[in-house]
Structure 1
């Protein structure tokens, strides 16, 4: 799956192929253009996800493609349900072909991908990691611009007081992801020490 080079203010791809399925976090929509992966979104129902896709790419023609995209959808759902399973080489490949955004957004998304599964950082810590201390609000904006749910793990960013903050796909999903990842990390630590 190669991420799309679509730019938010650039021309939309002519056709966006998409497929929907169900994960432990609810409905999933995976969309691809001819250039590659364009979006992974989460929600409560497929119709709302399709409407959001059309709003994101208003000039594109959405085309349901459950057949050719079945393997891609299955891979995405497996990763959403088990976010610790993405191999390091896949992460490295992904970082080399990260979706287009501003330079700052790309820096934030790359830094997000470096946060280990089971760990969290604050918006301020992430701002410092990208060399922009004091830019916590801009980091939050870059997280909000992320169109690749779970693959770019913006759910691993929390407020300075340790509480959850907003999440494009819902605070309940963020909480579940973090709980699942922390449990996996704790089990892994126990296995290593045991």
Structure 2
């Protein structure tokens, strides 16, 4: 059974879906858990129940928004929505430091495939556990925001929040 909770944050409502062990399977800036269910790989889908106790995720989210830029790094995530490259790219994405965004080209290089810019962008688009896997830290070559499933205003807020704490 998966548990979910919607947390109020300065960037808007953040709903998290967690396993019984506390790993985040889906997360996003929405108050509607239905927006997240399709993001969970079919092999990882289980019945959902609302629950105020989603483990230490709540404290990590609060710490992040209170100014601890590295608080989200401690959250365990569990997503499976792609092949070997996609899983590797998500791990690399988790290593992008707050306040130090990279371009899609740089992200592709860091992921080991410098020419695979579209694949790198796809890893961002298919990320099911934002902001714990911080796809918001990947920008266009000209420094503009590009896209973000949860809206460009949320992406801008997160980047500004992290830059202000640098």
Q: 2:158, 2:3 → 1: CA distance?
A: 27
Shift of residue 155, structure 1, vs aligned partner: 0.8
The structure with the greater share of residues assigned to helix is 1
Q: How does 1:1-194 map to 2 (within 5 A)?
A: 15-34=1-20, 36-43=23-30, 46=31, 49-57=32-40, 60-66=46-52, 68-69=53-54, 71-80=56-65, 82=67, 84-86=69-71, 90=74, 94=76, 99-101=79-81, 102-185=83-166
Shift of residue 136, structure 1, vs aligned partner: 1.0
Distance 1:139 1:174, change over 3 A: same
User: Unaligned 5+ residue runs, structure 1?
Assistant: 1-14, 186-194
Instruction: State how many pairs are aligned.
Output: 161
Q: 1:160, 1:114 → 2: CA distance?
A: 19
Distance 1:82 1:167, change over 3 A: farther
Shift of residue 83, structure 1, vs aligned partner: 5.4
TM-align CA RMSD: 2.4
- Greater radius of gyration (CA): 1
Higher relative contact order (CA 8 A, sep 6+): 2
Distance 1:140 1:87, change over 3 A: closer
Q: 2:127, 2:68 → 1: CA distance?
A: 17
CA deviation digits over 1:136-190, x for unaligned, max 9?
11111111111221211111111011111001111111111111211211xxxxx
Q: 2:24, 2:142 → 1: CA distance?
A: 35
Q: Normalising to structure 1: TM-score of the pair?
A: 0.72
User: Unaligned 5+ residue runs, structure 2?
Assistant: none
Shift of residue 54, structure 1, vs aligned partner: 3.5
Distance 1:139 1:74, change over 3 A: same
Q: 2:131, 2:65 → 1: CA distance?
A: 6
Q: 2:48, 2:120 → 1: CA distance?
A: 30
Distance 1:83 1:145, change over 3 A: farther
Q: 2:80, 2:68 → 1: CA distance?
A: 23
